Amino acid sequence: MNIVYASDYDELSQIAAQAIQDYVREHPDGVLGLATGDTPIGTYRELARRHQAGEISLRSVTTFNLDEYYGLPADHPQSYRTYMTEHLFRHVDIDGDRIHIPSGVAADADAHCREYDRKIADAGGIGLQLLGLGGNGHIGFNEPDVELKEGSHLVQLSDETIRANSRNFASVDEVPRQAITVGLGAIFRARKIVMLASGKAKAPIAAQLVRSGVTTQIPATLLKLHPDVTVVLDKEAASGLPEA
Ligand code: F6R
């Protein structure tokens, strides 16, 4: 696990956008695994800026998002589909047919998950996977547990995640209790992984991630077993690591 220290959120966003730009330059029809949440907003803003400056085209790229709240229709203001449209897709030249985000309203969630995994496999797997770091160490919505799942699945969100994500909803009661998330398999088969963590609130988990051994109770530690992972921490997220 390669750790890169960024001076601030802007630099973290530049580093992540550059990693994506480099990957897309080498693989114009490559496959990106994308995350939502607060952390990658600056990365997507920077990608949109670079696209508008003629520096990057996503025309032939295929994308798979990590997750979607279960129970929210695609056009719900807090759906991850809406997030992706607002923060990235409507600002770039991506082909709508190549965008994949789990459905929050699939009647048969298990069948939908199997189909999502098949589509990822048919696309040749993820080339570059962008990840955020949950306050409890989750990646995607693979929450701490005694066992982690290989395939995409319907997951019960932890109280901590529901609380953390309530900042985007009118009240905690409105946060969906379930989500569809890709499993560790698709994340692990990604050729390259870039994980971002920004801000003081991520300092304790970033320190745990760096110091802890591999444990399913901190799913992000499993990334230590992957051959090509870069973790980008801004100054605040790295503040629990005095050696940083
Ligand atoms: C989002 C996702 C989550 C977030 C994580 C951090 O698609 O899969 O794992 O990356 O919860 O969220 P933020 O960036 O809001 O702190």
Catalytic status, residue 143: yes
pLDDT score at 136: 96
User: b vs e for 136-164, b when ≥16 Cβ sit within 10 Å of the residue's Cβ?
Assistant: bbbbbbbbbeeebeeebbbbebbeebbeb
Test site for ligand 1: of 34, 81, 133, 234, most ligand atoms within 8 A of the Cβ: 133
pLDDT band at 242 (very low <50, low <70, confident <90, very high): confident
Percent of the chain's residues with pLDDT above 70:
100
Asked if 59 and 95 count as a contact pair (C-beta separation under 8 A), the reply is yes
Instruction: Check residue 243 and give its pLDDT.
Output: 73
Angstrom CA distances, 205 to 1, 145, 153, stand at: 15, 16, 24
Q: What is the mean pLDDT of the chain?
A: 97
**Cβ partners under 8 Å of residue 79, min gap 6:** 68, 69, 72, 73, 104
Active-site annotation holder among 65, 136, 142, 165? 136
Maximal CA-CA distance, the chain: 49
Average pLDDT over residues 182-200: 98
| Residue 75: burial class (beta carbons within 10 Å; 0-12, 13-18, 19+) | exposed
Query: What are the pLDDT digits (tens) for 43-79?
Result: 999 999 999 999 999 999 999 999 999 999 999 999 9
Quick one: average pLDDT of 181-203? 98
The answer to whether the CB of 206 falls within 8 A of the CB of 237 is yes
CA pair distance 62, 181, nearest whole angstrom: 18
65: helix, strand or coil: strand
Among 12, 34, 66, name the best residue to mutate to test ligand 1's pocket (greatest count of ligand atoms within 8 A of Cβ): 66
Instruction: Inform me whether the pLDDT recorded for 190 exceeds 90.
Output: yes
Task: Give 149-184 pLDDT, tens digit per residue.
Answer: 999 999 999 999 999 999 999 999 999 999 999 999
